Amino acid sequence: MNKISPDLNLDKLEANTVVNTFKKFEQEHVFKFWEELSKDERQNLLEQALEIDLNQLKKLTDEHLVSTDTKSIDFSEITPADYIKLKSKVSNPAEWAEAKSLGEEAIRNGKVAAFTPAGGQGSRLGFNAPKGMYPVTPVLKNSLFQLFAEKIKAVSKKYDANIPWYIMTSLDNHDDTVEFFMTNDFFGFNEKDVQFFSQYTMPAVDFNGKILMSNKHNIARTPDGHGGSFKALVKSGSVDDMAKRGIDIVSFFQIDNSLVRCIDPYFIGFHIKQQSQLSSKACIKTDPKEKVGLLISKNGNISTIEYSDFPDEMAAKRDADGGLLFSTGSIGIHLFDRQFISKLGEDNEDFQLPFHKAVKKISTIDAEGNPIALDAPNGIKFEMFGFDALDYTSNAMILETLRENEFSPLKNATGKDSPETVLNLQLQLFSSWVKAAGGKIELDENGLPSFSFEIRPSYANNVDEFIAKYDGESIADGVVLQ
Ligand code: UTP
């Protein structure tokens, strides 16, 4: 092992202590090229090393690499989760009306903020910029960031309320994200009402648990998952900022779902009525093989289970009406109670989300420090999942929604959940609004027009608003209602 050079303007003692600690954990290769590094590179590497909790990393590698990865799940504890059914399916719509007015009151009183975890790597999409910059709207090709900004602003305007937006970025995309907002005048937000903060990272390891280096002076670090939102929200001061503003409810939506209702009064109202700490929207599964995480009940508490962990015979079970017994699919739309976020984000052993492993291609170097060309996964990244927070709630709620109204994730470059499906689902939804308002539009058997048009959130954010506003404007190729 190289000795730390005496000419270094670092606290020599500290540098030596760090190296010795890494040695103790058999990770001293991190400093292998120390002698070749410049002063700044050494400083940088030391700072990265100091951020790693080696005890935690050892625990994770022991758990995920040494032990076999079979989870023991007691399926006898698992039953279908209760959920609030769609307005159109219930015999008592008054309950929905009450929820709406409760939600509207909370929005009007400035109790609600928007939050987007936007630190993902978007590796499946392969877009060379933050995913939020991806152009998605049918005619104007506005980005996901702009689309969500317009949706939030439309609700702010409707209720004469201030709705701040907190955006979690990552080490890799933070600067590009902030710059995008700056060059676009924050899409109409006051600068102080859009707050950006970076999520934490975890070191990536090889299949023997050794920390991978992305080059001679940088540790390969990957974002700690959307479950890292809680820690980042707390440690960045965002939760304190929310408390100062009097915000109690945080509307959580992912960066890639163009159809999401960013701020939904009904959802917020049910959340308040049920005094929920964490509420989730669910789409009802009709195909037992559909690859979507399930919201279930475990010993009477709402929880989640990944589709890959759920046995086929259970997934195929039917209820008395012929629907799937386990039907509530999780779509990454949640409401969080602010105080619950604080609990999960503070250093509290009883409220520590578990890490999951993902086998990935991780850019790294060989023994001589040269970049390695990768044709297969070579390592493991560790991430936390936001929906695991359900296991820490004492009171959670599920609300049904329709996929075609609210779920269109952009994950892949082609095929399922791709730019093409995102475009078509927007066109189908807009066309259904035009039809519902009595407008003229010709659609094919998939509910698609043969041309592109767009309804901006400033015109209508949902079908009811559209019906109230639509005045028979002609709908043709390139038309933008705004
Ligand atoms: P995904 O699970 O789709 O992951 O994220 P991803 O990293 O964006 O994409 P792939 O898997 O590499 O293709 C779902 C949501 O969680 C956020 C994403 O930005 C998206 O809003 N996320 C994910 C984070 O904010 N941080 C993470 O570490 C992971």
pLDDT in tens, 30-49: 999 999 999 999 999 999 99
Percent of the chain whose pLDDT exceeds 70: 96
pLDDT computed for residue 6 by the predictor:
41
Confidence of residue 11 (pLDDT cuts 50, 70, 90): low
Reading the block at residue 101, the tokens are: 């007015």
Give the count of beta carbons closer than 10 Å to the beta carbon of residue 257: 22
Nearest to 469, CA basis, from 258, 156, 159, 158? 158
Give me the chain's average pLDDT, please: 94
Distance 121 CA to ligand 1 centre (A): 6
Helix (H) or strand (E) holding 241: helix 238-245
Contacts of 463 (CB under 8 A, 6+ apart): 432, 433, 436
Beta bridge partners of 455: 481
180 has pLDDT over 60: yes
Nearest to 253, CA basis, from 423, 392, 406? 406
| Ligand 1: residue whose CA is nearest its atom 9 | 122
pLDDT per position as a tens digit, 267-280: 999 999 999 999 99
Left (φ > 0), alpha (ψ -120 to 50) or beta: where does 163 sit? beta
Confidence of residue 12 (pLDDT cuts 50, 70, 90): low
With tokens 């005045």, the residue in question is 471
Q: Is 386 in the pocket of ligand 1 (CB under 6 A)?
A: no
How many angstroms separate the CA atoms of 387 and 58, rounded?
A: 25
Q: Give helix 12-24 / helix 39-50 axis angle, nearest 10°.
A: 50
The model carries a pTM of 0.94
Average pLDDT (459-473) is 97
Q: What is the separation of C-alpha 42 from the centre of its chain, rounded to a whole number of angstroms?
A: 34
CA dihedral 352, 353, 359, 362 (to 10 degrees): -60
Nearest to 22, CA basis, from 50, 59, 56, 62? 50
Give the position, in ligand 1's atom list, of the atom nearest the Cα of 199: 26
Helix (H) or strand (E) holding 422: helix 419-436
424 has pLDDT over 70: yes
Domains of the chain with CATH codes: 12-52 (no CATH), 75-411 (3.90.550.10), 417-482 (no CATH)
Helix (H) or strand (E) holding 221: strand 221-223
Q: Which of 136, 177, 198, 226 to mutate to test the pocket of ligand 1 (most atoms within 8 A of CB)?
A: 226
Distance 407 CA to ligand 1 centre (A): 16
Average pLDDT (340-355) is 92
How many angstroms separate the CA atoms of 6 and 278, rounded?
A: 53
Nearest to 226, CA basis, from 332, 151, 126? 332
pLDDT computed for residue 10 by the predictor:
56
Contact yes or no for 190/163 (Cβ under 8 A) = no
CA distances 277 to 110, 344, 393, Å, are 18, 11, 6
Contact yes or no for 277/394 (Cβ under 8 A) = yes
Distance 144 CA to ligand 1 centre (A): 14
Distance 48 CA to ligand 1 centre (A): 23
Give the position, in ligand 1's atom list, of the atom nearest the Cα of 254: 21
How many angstroms separate the CA atoms of 15 and 4, rounded?
A: 7
pLDDT computed for residue 259 by the predictor:
98
pLDDT per position as a tens digit, 221-248: 999 999 999 999 999 999 999 999 999 9
3 has pLDDT over 70: no
pLDDT per position as a tens digit, 359-372: 999 999 999 999 99
Give the count of beta carbons closer than 10 Å to the beta carbon of residue 139: 15
63 has pLDDT over 50: yes
Contact yes or no for 98/260 (Cβ under 8 A) = no
Give the count of beta carbons closer than 10 Å to the beta carbon of residue 347: 9
DSSP string, 368-389: TSPBPP-SS--EEEEE--GGGG
108 has pLDDT over 90: yes
pLDDT computed for residue 7 by the predictor:
45
Q: Is 279 in the pocket of ligand 1 (CB under 6 A)?
A: no
Confidence of residue 71 (pLDDT cuts 50, 70, 90): low
Q: Is 334 in the pocket of ligand 1 (CB under 6 A)?
A: no
Give the count of beta carbons closer than 10 Å to the beta carbon of residue 406: 21
How many angstroms separate the CA atoms of 398 and 409, rounded?
A: 20
Q: Is 193 in the pocket of ligand 1 (CB under 6 A)?
A: no
Q: Is 21 in the pocket of ligand 1 (CB under 6 A)?
A: no
| Ligand 1: residue whose CA is nearest its atom 14 | 254
pLDDT computed for residue 1 by the predictor:
39
Percent of the chain whose pLDDT exceeds 90: 88
Distance 225 CA to ligand 1 centre (A): 7
Distance 224 CA to ligand 1 centre (A): 10
Average pLDDT (192-205) is 97
How many angstroms separate the CA atoms of 443 and 432, rounded?
A: 10
pLDDT computed for residue 347 by the predictor:
86
Q: Which of 198, 254, 333, 363 to mutate to test the pocket of ligand 1 (most atoms within 8 A of CB)?
A: 254
Q: Label residues 80-101 b or e (16+ Cβ within 10 Å = b).
A: bbebbeeeeeeeeeeebeebbe
User: What is the C-alpha radius of gyration for the chain, rounded to an integer number of angstroms?
Assistant: 24
